[in-house]
Each structure stands twice: as C-alpha cells, then as structure tokens.
Structure 1
Amino acid sequence: ECLRSLAFHEMDARLHGIERANKDTCEWIFETTQFLNWESRVDIASHNGVMWIKGKPGAGKSTLMKRIWLRLRQEANDSILAAFFFHGRGNNPLEKSALGMLRSILYQLLDQNSQLWVAFLPIFLDKKKKHGNDIPWYFGELKSFLVSSAGNLGSNRIWLLIDALDECAIEEVQTVVAMLESLAFSAFESHIALNICLASRHYPQIRMSKADELVVEAQSEHDQDIREYVRNNIFVNDPSIEAEILRKSAHVFLWVELVVKMLNKASVDGRVKAMMQILRHVPDDLDDLYCELLTKGRNPDELRESVYMLQWVLFAKEELRPEKLYFAVLSGTDPENLGPWDQQKEQSSTIQRYITSTSRGLIELLTDVDVSSVQFIHESVRDFLLSVKGLQLLDSSLNQQQVGNSHGRLASCCYSYI
C-alpha cells in the first residue's frame, strides 16, 4: 500500500519504450575512462560517484542509458538499481516532473532496501492517517527524506540512473540537479557506495561542482557505431555512401536512421544510381531534415493533412489512440466524409500505415498490452515543430500565434466531429 501510493502507471514507460541498442553498438561505453572510474569509484572525491553523459539531440544518449541499465540489471546482483527516464512527450505530468522522478526513485529504493523502508514507513502511516487512501506527496518532503536518509541506504552498492534531464520541466531542472548533487555528497560523506549516472543535452547549461562528464559525439567509438548501423541496415553496400553519411551526420544517430530509411526507399524504387545524389542534397541539420521529410514531393492537400496530424499529437492533452488520431485529422481535412467507423474498410493496420505515411515516419505507435497510442519518435520533433522552422514554415496561416491558432483549429475539428 505504501509503495502503491508512490507509484504511477507511466513511471517506467519511457525506459521500456526505448529499443535496445543495435547489434555491436554501445559496448564501447563500458571501456571509457569515465565509466571505469565511475564503476570502480576511482578518485571518488573528484566526482562523488556521479557520471554525466551529454550529447546533441538524437545522438543516442537514451539508448546508451538503457544499455547501461541492462548491464547493471544483469551483472550487479548484490546491488540496488533504480532508474528514471524523463519523458517530455508523455501525457502524464509526472513523467516530466521532479516529483514524478522522486516518486519513482523512492518506490524502487524502498522496494529493495529494508532499512530505508523502516525509516519511511512512519511518514506513510502519518499521511494515511490524515488523508486516507488518497495520499498527496510533495517534492520537498520526499527530497528531504531521501537526502537526510543517505546514511540509511545500507552497505549494498546503489546505482541510480536519470535520463533526459533536459526533458524535465524547464523550471525544475536546476532543482533536480541540486537535489542529486546533495544526495551524492551526503552519500559520499556517509561512506555509502552510491553511483549516479545522468544523461542530458548540452542545453540547458547546468553543471555540478563534482561530476565526471562524457560527451557522446566526442567518442570515436560512437562514430564506429554509426558505421556499423549503416552497414547492417542499408540495402546497398557502397563505401562512398557510408563515408558520406558519416561525414554529414554530425554524430547524430537519429539523423542517420532517418537518412538510411530515405536511401533504402530509393533503392526499393529502383533508384540505386541516384542514392548518392539524394544523400548530397539531404540537409545536415536535424530540423532541416524534418522539414524536408514533411514537405518534399507533397501536394498542398497532403501537407495540410500532415500539419493537422502533427498539431493533434503536439497539442492533445491526453494520449491519442491511432483511430482517434485518424478521425481527428479527417474531421479537419475531409469533414464531409465523416461517419461511423467502418472497420472492414478502415482496418487498424490501414490506419497505422496512414499515420506513418502522413507523418513521414515522425509519429510512432506504442503498444501497452492491448492498448495502442501515438507519439513523436523523438523529443527533437516537438522542439522542431514549436520553433520558427516548424509549424509556421509548414503552414504560413498559423503565423506567430501558432499555439493559439493551432488550438483554435483543433477546436473546430471537434465541432465538425460532433
């Protein structure tokens, strides 16, 4: 009952939603000086057991973090492992808040550490006495408990992984980093073997006074991972194409994945000789690539459908099922043909293909047991759409009031549907 009061349904959704690393990639992280020093706690006074992985958007930081989590889960049998992956695209505010992180971390630590459980139980019982089953938790009280209880974490090694700090609510990022720094220092002072691994973009520029940093794009092995990915996934084996992809990628794995898909489509269409020319014209910048994917070869009606679909995923207040998204777009682009869902003609598989095609692969489907929902493939897609290069460029009628005008448009879709 105590653990359930801290838990929330989506608290590990992002962690389990990240695909495992491609074959023969990410293993280099375990051989870096930063990881080896962090793991063995060499020169601990200089970093307090904190390693901070930084990289560009789409570089593959979350994939690296999941690989680290998998290794620790498999090999660190006598230790305690807790992880939280911030999820900026999540619909539950707790997925991207400091409070959500603390609730998830404490849930995992209490579940594995009896000393901490004994210390926390009186707090829970007092809360239950006051509030019954609907127990409110606050960041301040949970932070105070965790930091002050560092000495109760026991003799077992503790691994704490926090991914995508930049996807935490912007006004809370500094608070989270300060709390983790205090926790690391308290554990160090108490001679508790606490190892914290963080991952984030370079911006916002927040630092700890003591942490060992690893920059993903500065690692030559990361470029080798890109080469391996291209060799294993591209349909046409051409060393010159491989070299050009690596040169233009700027170490961004997501850019590489999208470009390989574009080139493979050209190969399937029989345009093998045009692949190098296509590659040379592909924008180097991830935002520019998103723009080209959405606009190139599209007629005005197709682009309009794409914009409606992107707006729905961007501004919807709750998760959208694929069929909801399909009819939401239809209510704005072709309201005359709205009617009861004919599942013989509009099968789920057909709707899924429509979403992938219309979004040009920038929206993906997630499946949780028997329930499917949609989300952007990466937080950088959301960033792009809200930038001056995004929705305003795709649809000039939105002008500088793109958020307000988008909500107005979506409201009109709702009226049409009703």
Structure 2
Amino acid sequence: MENSRNFSRNKVGRNATVVLGNITVSANTPNADKSFLQAISKTDPAHDKNRILLLKGPLLWDAFNWIFGHQEFNKWRYTKESGVFWIKGDPGKGKTMLLCGIIEDLDQSPQNANLSYFFCQATDYRINTASAVVGGLIKSLLKRHPTLLSRIREKYADEVQDELDGTNALVILCDIFETITNDPDLKDIICVVDALDECITDCKYLLDFIVKTSGHVKWLLSSRNEKDIEKGLDQIPQRLVLELKDNAEKISTSIEAYIRHHIQEIKALKHDEELQVKTLDILSSKAQGTFLWVALVVEQLHDTDRWDIENVLEEVPKDLESLYGLILDRTERLGARGQEVCRVILSIIATAKRPLHLEELLIFTNSHWKNSSHFKNTYQLQDIQDMTKTCGSILSIREDTVYFIHQSAKDYVMENAAQRIFPILHQHYKMFEASLDAMSKILEYNMYCLEDPAIHIDDVPHKDVGSDPVTSIRYCCVFWVEHLVSGYQFEGFDYQKYLKDDKKLHLFLKEKFLCWVESLALMRNFSPQAQIALQKLKDLIDCYCCSGKNDETVQAAQLQRNIETYGLRHFVYDAYRFVRNSIESVAHWPLQLYFSAISFEQHNTTIRNVFEQTVRKRFGPSPILTSQQHGQSSFRLQSSFKASKNDSISDKWLVFSPDSSLIIQLCWASSVNAFAVWRADTGTLVHTFDITPDSRIAFFPKSNDFISVSETGIIKRWSMNKPSCVSNL
C-alpha cells in the first residue's frame, strides 16, 4: 500500500503520545537467513538424525550394508532418471537405522551434494505434518547452498512472514521447494523421508506432492506397509519397492550381527562363551527379523544377573506386542506404589503432544499427587528420573528428555493398555489443570530480566536448562489450550470452576495473559501458537454457550451461560485481536509487548485494563496512541501523526518521508520556530528549516523534496539538500 510505513527496530520511549500511519514492523536483521530458515522449519533434520542415533544406538555397518548390494536399490541410486524408492516393513524392522546408514553413505559422495532428508515422528507435533516434512527438506537443501538461500529468502520473505503460520503454509512451502528443485544450478537432487506413515497431518497431500515432483527429484521413502501410501505411490512409473520381509535372509544376517555386537556389552555374559553362544542362538531364533525386539530384550539382559539369564531368555515372547505386554506385566511386581508410578508416568507421556523434558514431567507428576496421602508433591528431578526407569524398556531417557522407545510402543499403550492404565480424556483434563496451576505460579513479567525494550529476539541470549525460568513450563505454555479442548469432553469436566467469569481460567488470563504471550515470544513459539490457541479457546467457549438442542429449556440454559461467561468471552475475543495485530512486532521484539504493542490498544479494552492493573507499575507509563480523526480505530491511523508532551514546546507534528527513511518534526513555542528532519533508523538530526508555525507540509511522491503551505496561502518548495526554500510557488 502507498501509505504503508516500515519501522526497523523501533523503540518507543515513555511519556509520549503518538499518532501514526499504517505500520508494518520490519523483521530485517543481521541474521535474516537464519531467521528465514527458522521460520521455514522449527526443527533441523540433521539434529533429529543425531538424536535418533543417540536413542537407538550407533550405526553398525554389518547391520545394514546388505542394502548396498541390493539390485533395485542400486538401480535407483545410480540411474540418471528420478523416481521413488520405497522401503516398507513392519514396526521395529530397522527401517529408520537403514535410512540413517544410507544417508551417511550418500553424504560421503561428492556427487550427492544436493541431498536432503527428514525423519517423521508421530509423537512429536513438530515433525508429524506434511508442512514440517517439506519445510525440513527445504531447510536441509538451503543450508548446503548459502547463495541460493539468499535468493530464495529475497523472493519469498513476505509469504513466509505473513502466511506461513496459516492455512496456506503447505502451498507456500511446496512452491518454495519446487523453485529450489527446478533451479538450473542444482542437479541430481535426492530427498529422503523416513516413517512416512507417521506424518499424521496432510499425508495425502504430501504423497500427491511426491508424485508431482518425482520427475525431477529422486525420492527415498520408508514406512509401514499401508494401503493409502501404496495407492498414492502407484501413480509413479519409476517406482521401485523393497519389502523387508521379502529379504528375510539378508535381514536375518544383519540381526545376527546386531545381536553379536550387543552380547559383547552385557556384563553378565563376560568371559562365558558357552552362555554367549546360547544367548545368540535363542535371540536369533526368536527375533523374527525385528531389531527393536532384540534391543528391548538386550536392555533387560543388561539388568539381569548371570544366574537368571537363561530364565529371562526362555520367558521372553517372540512377537513385539507380547513383549510390550510382558514389560507392563512386570510392573505389577513393584507393588501398589510402583504400579501407580508407572501408570501415572505412562499416562502423561502417552497423552503429551511431544516428548517431555524431565523438568516438564515433574510438573505433571507433582500435580497428580498433590492431594495424595501416599505420595509427596515435591519430588525432585532425580526422583522423577528414577520413577521413569521403573516403567521398563518402553520409555527411554536421552538428554533429560523422555521418549517412547518406538512408535509401536506408544501404539501398544494407547490401543491395548489404555483402559488398564488411564482414560485418555480424563488425562487431558488433568494435564490442563496442572498446566494452568504451574503457569499461574511461575509466569512473571520480563522473565529474562531484559533491560532494553528494543532488544531483538535474535539478540536475546539462549539460556541453558538450569538457568531458564520457563524450562519447566515450556510445554504448559504451548499446549494448555490443546489439553483443555480435549479435557472439555471428559464427563467430569468442572464447567463451574473454569468456564465462568472470575473463576480459575478467567483469573489466570486477567493476571497472566501478557506474560504468557511474552513467554511464547521468548521461546520463539509466539507465532502462530498464541493465535491458534486463542482461536481454539474462543471456539470452545462458544461451543459451551451454545450447546444443547433448540428447545425453551435449553435456550434458557444457553442464555444463562452467556451471562455467566460474558467477561471471559469478552477477554478472549480482545486477546485474540490483540495477538493478531501485534504478531509481527512481539515475535521479533518480545518486550515491545509492553511498549509499542500495548500502545495500539484502545483505553476501554480488557487488554489495556490488564496492562494498567498488572504491568504499569513495573514498566512505567506507556505510550498512548490517539487517532488523527475522531472515532477512527487506533489500528488504521493517518499517515501523518501528532505527538504531544508536557514540556515547553506547545505542539509537535511528525510525518514520514515517502521512502520512510526520514521523520520530519515541526514544532514551535514562544521562542522556537523549527522544522527538523531526523533519520528514522538512527535518530540522527539531518537538517533544520525555518518554516512558519502555521504551515502544513507535503512530500512529492518520488523524492524527499516537499512543499509547505502557510495559513495565508504562501506555497514554497523545499529540498533536503538546501537549508532555504528552493522556490516560491
């Protein structure tokens, strides 16, 4: 728009009243490429691969090198044609480690400079969507080509900034991907996607996109043998398929190598060759080509004394699901308290939207037992780590984060043991309650004690786990509304406690809303999480107020609910609008939440009232924006603006130059006649002009020259390069 103006790193001071035009906060920073990549993908596929190798163990060449002699694989790898190579197999058959080995080998070849990859995981919301897959592949490619990254950023910066958090995200990402892969400088592009079946959002569209691009991109995919995936890939003429069960002999040899390696590390088998051979024979005969099964049994053997090794080997069942059942059955030997610990830990980890850090898990477990007569509610980090280990091999702790050992383990817990362990809707409800309580206690304003209101998010120092005040509530801040929406369906949900004015939810918002928004910004999770959460909260409250059939009794109940939730609904509506309008500034400058962002709030909004009641005493008086025209919304103001301040100068007028590089200030008092020009980015005084105080000014459209018009009708033309007027008109 012609009248739009850009502020770059704008800092609004105290005690100022400003009227200004349409403003777009610029996100240009010295780390523009880094910020662009972060917006494209919230995770780094290279880091995900390293995490997988930490979780599953090191790559063993003898466990996967058979693939490099496979005829179909080599046909895909060495042919000049593009297409798809699909590796499919049952859970636990080693697909992920096989792809890790292939990636390592491909990465060592100079001709494979255009390799990208992505690992899906259904248990982690950051890497289980089609948008995440395409974004991760883009990030993986662009990191290898900095020059191309700069070109792509310049072309797509606006789309990424404005729409990547909305419904058009996948469309934009696919467009960027095709632009990259069609670049004439990039040849022989290879894209690897592991666990395609664990892409739980828009997987069909991802399959369609793979089909569309298979003519100029080589795709390597792995997944379970699912009909929808097979149907989607059937459309590709150059499709090659490797079914792991059809390669049983090769897999069996790899399993044996895998077992031999791990047997050497079992303390109870040291220096006992006969028992080692027996262990190898039993494990090889029972493994049925399942690496995960071997890993689970080996982990049990690490905790087994020598005298009991043979009993454990004989007892262990052959199939993976039965093994999960046995692991859970063994928790019954722990007694009532031990069983309760396992039940609570498993219910929390299974219900969580992503793997939990031990600090986050501690919040939920302490909350669960806060009123228990058998458990404390002040357990420490080491306690929760020990409790997690009682759940056996189903859970794993890596870098203080708790994971299911495999997606199949979570599937088993959710599908076969849910009734025995926990009712899912009730657990969502409890996690919502725990999140709300924890945020109410821990959230504060200016959590990182930042001194500069103009500090950019890229300049906010990253804190380690021990010093970060939001570590324990990171999960709560992001997902509390998700758990509320699911817990709302629980038949024991307490509507009176949470969905009425001035009750727990409403009070939390009135006291902590702004610092909740700040915490999301500090966590680099403000956009789009805050807006999505508030939209879901709006929908939930509307659903509560309008639920029921259309009869007189229900209508009366609906009217009563509307009355009882009026303040809560009004707050959430204002909060949604506030977040939507401040999303650009707060995402990049977190503390501007309390300065420029709050300045655009009208005086009668709930958000302004919250600021006045809870924040003003900490941050001092805020800027107050006033419209140039009576009754005009403070969100669409004039392109010229008026600033007033209680000092010796009676009045000031400010206006931008056409290219937004200059701010012009006209002020006068009894002893002052001055027209000052300042650089918008540095605040440096450029020029002063002698113009009568009754004048109004206007710039020429395509230059920084301007004209002044006095009340007596005298028109003068001025140039920024000369202190006096150029001509009288």
Q: 2:308 aligns with which of 267, 271, 291?
A: 271
CA positional deviation for 1:67: 0.9
- 1:391 is matched with 418
Identity among equivalent positions (%) equals: 22
Asked whether the equivalents of residues 76 and 85 of structure 2 are also in contact (C-alpha less than 8 Å), the reply is: yes
SS in 1 for 2:257: helix
Inter-partner Cα distance in structure 1 for 2:354 and 2:110: 37
Letter in 1 for 2:226: Y
Superposed, which structure 2 residues align to 1:101-116 within 5 Å? Answer: 101-113=133-145
CA positional deviation for 1:250: 2.1
Does residue 354 in structure 1 map to residue 387 in structure 2? Answer: yes
Residues 255/404 of structure 1: CA separation in 2 closer, same or farther (3 Å cut): same
- 2:339 is matched with 303
- 1:81 is matched with 115
- 2:208 is matched with 178
Inter-partner Cα distance in structure 1 for 2:258 and 2:351: 33
- 2:174 is matched with 143
CA positional deviation for 1:38: 1.3
Q: 2:79 aligns with which of 41, 60, 70?
A: 41
CA positional deviation for 1:228: 1.5
- 1:407 is matched with 428
Residues 119/223 of structure 1: CA separation in 2 closer, same or farther (3 Å cut): same
CA positional deviation for 1:84: 0.8
Superposed, which structure 2 residues align to 1:243-392 within 5 Å? Answer: 243-266=281-304, 268=305, 270-272=307-309, 275=310, 277-296=311-330, 297-317=333-353, 319-326=355-362, 328-333=364-369, 335-336=372-373, 337-338=375-376, 346=380, 348=382, 351-356=384-389, 358-367=390-399, 372-387=400-415, 389-392=416-419
Residues 117/153 of structure 1: CA separation in 2 closer, same or farther (3 Å cut): farther
SS in 1 for 2:214: helix
Specify the structure having the higher radius of gyration (Cα): 2
Residues 264/111 of structure 1: CA separation in 2 closer, same or farther (3 Å cut): closer
109-118 or 60-69: which moved more? 109-118
CA positional deviation for 1:218: 2.9
Residues 409/141 of structure 1: CA separation in 2 closer, same or farther (3 Å cut): closer
CA positional deviation for 1:75: 2.2
Inter-partner Cα distance in structure 1 for 2:381 and 2:154: 53
Residues 112/23 of structure 1: CA separation in 2 closer, same or farther (3 Å cut): closer
SS in 1 for 2:242: strand
Inter-partner Cα distance in structure 2 for 1:180 and 1:115: 26
Residues 182/84 of structure 1: CA separation in 2 closer, same or farther (3 Å cut): same
Inter-partner Cα distance in structure 1 for 2:164 and 2:288: 51
- 2:44 is matched with 11
Compute the RMSD of aligned alpha carbons: 3.2
Residues 391/298 of structure 1: CA separation in 2 closer, same or farther (3 Å cut): farther
CA positional deviation for 1:50: 1.6
Residues 80/223 of structure 1: CA separation in 2 closer, same or farther (3 Å cut): same
Inter-partner Cα distance in structure 1 for 2:296 and 2:107: 31
Inter-partner Cα distance in structure 2 for 1:403 and 1:246: 37
Asked whether the equivalents of residues 110 and 117 of structure 1 are also in contact (C-alpha less than 8 Å), the reply is: yes
Give per-residue Cα distances to partners, 1:7-28, cap 9 Å, x unaligned: 3442324322111323532111
| More helix per residue | 1
- 2:724 is matched with none
69-78 or 108-117: which moved more? 108-117
- Where structure 1 has 5 or more consecutive residues not aligned to the other structure, the ranges are 188-193
Give per-residue Cα distances to partners, 1:100-130, cap 9 Å, x unaligned: 11112122323435786576345324437x8
CA positional deviation for 1:309: 0.2
Inter-partner Cα distance in structure 1 for 2:189 and 2:250: 28
CA positional deviation for 1:36: 0.9
SS in 2 for 1:278: helix
Asked whether the equivalents of residues 58 and 255 of structure 1 are also in contact (C-alpha less than 8 Å), the reply is: yes
TM-score by length of structure 1 reads 0.80
Inter-partner Cα distance in structure 2 for 1:407 and 1:125: 38
Q: 1:167 aligns with which of 190, 198, 204?
A: 198
Letter in 2 for 1:355: T
SS in 2 for 1:270: helix
Residues 147/318 of structure 1: CA separation in 2 closer, same or farther (3 Å cut): closer
Q: 1:203 aligns with which of 213, 226, 236?
A: 226
- Where structure 2 has 5 or more consecutive residues not aligned to the other structure, the ranges are 1-31, 270-274, 442-729
CA positional deviation for 1:241: 3.6
Inter-partner Cα distance in structure 2 for 1:34 and 1:23: 20
TM-score by length of structure 2 reads 0.48
Does residue 68 in structure 1 map to residue 102 in structure 2? Answer: yes
CA positional deviation for 1:153: 4.9
Asked whether the equivalents of residues 112 and 190 of structure 2 are also in contact (C-alpha less than 8 Å), the reply is: no
SS in 1 for 2:261: helix
Does residue 224 in structure 1 map to residue 249 in structure 2? Answer: no
250-259 or 310-319: which moved more? 310-319
- 2:721 is matched with none
Inter-partner Cα distance in structure 2 for 1:315 and 1:246: 35
Give per-residue Cα distances to partners, 1:310-366, cap 9 Å, x unaligned: 11111134553224424633543574553556xxxx564x6434322x220222223
Inter-partner Cα distance in structure 2 for 1:135 and 1:173: 18
Give per-residue Cα distances to partners, 1:130-173, cap 9 Å, x unaligned: 8499999611122234346643253532221111111101x522
Inter-partner Cα distance in structure 1 for 2:354 and 2:225: 29
Higher relative contact order (CA 8 A, sep 6+): 1
Inter-partner Cα distance in structure 1 for 2:50 and 2:145: 23
Inter-partner Cα distance in structure 1 for 2:410 and 2:351: 10
Inter-partner Cα distance in structure 2 for 1:263 and 1:97: 37
CA positional deviation for 1:72: 1.5
Residues 149/327 of structure 1: CA separation in 2 closer, same or farther (3 Å cut): closer
Residues 10/247 of structure 1: CA separation in 2 closer, same or farther (3 Å cut): same
Residues 414/147 of structure 1: CA separation in 2 closer, same or farther (3 Å cut): closer
- 2:132 is matched with 100
Inter-partner Cα distance in structure 1 for 2:437 and 2:169: 41
CA positional deviation for 1:270: 2.4
Give per-residue Cα distances to partners, 1:359-401, cap 9 Å, x unaligned: 202222232xxxx3222111111111110x2222x33xx4xxx
Asked whether the equivalents of residues 282 and 289 of structure 1 are also in contact (C-alpha less than 8 Å), the reply is: yes
Residues 285/4 of structure 1: CA separation in 2 closer, same or farther (3 Å cut): same
CA positional deviation for 1:178: 1.4
Give per-residue Cα distances to partners, 1:180-233, cap 9 Å, x unaligned: 111112x1xxxxxx3211111112541213321112233222211211122222
Letter in 2 for 1:292: L
SS in 2 for 1:152: coil
CA positional deviation for 1:56: 1.0
288-297 or 108-117: which moved more? 108-117
Inter-partner Cα distance in structure 1 for 2:306 and 2:277: 21
CA positional deviation for 1:238: 4.2
SS in 1 for 2:314: helix
Residues 29/138 of structure 1: CA separation in 2 closer, same or farther (3 Å cut): same
CA positional deviation for 1:62: 0.7
Asked whether the equivalents of residues 78 and 156 of structure 1 are also in contact (C-alpha less than 8 Å), the reply is: no
Residues 256/15 of structure 1: CA separation in 2 closer, same or farther (3 Å cut): same
Asked whether the equivalents of residues 307 and 391 of structure 1 are also in contact (C-alpha less than 8 Å), the reply is: no
CA positional deviation for 1:2: 4.6
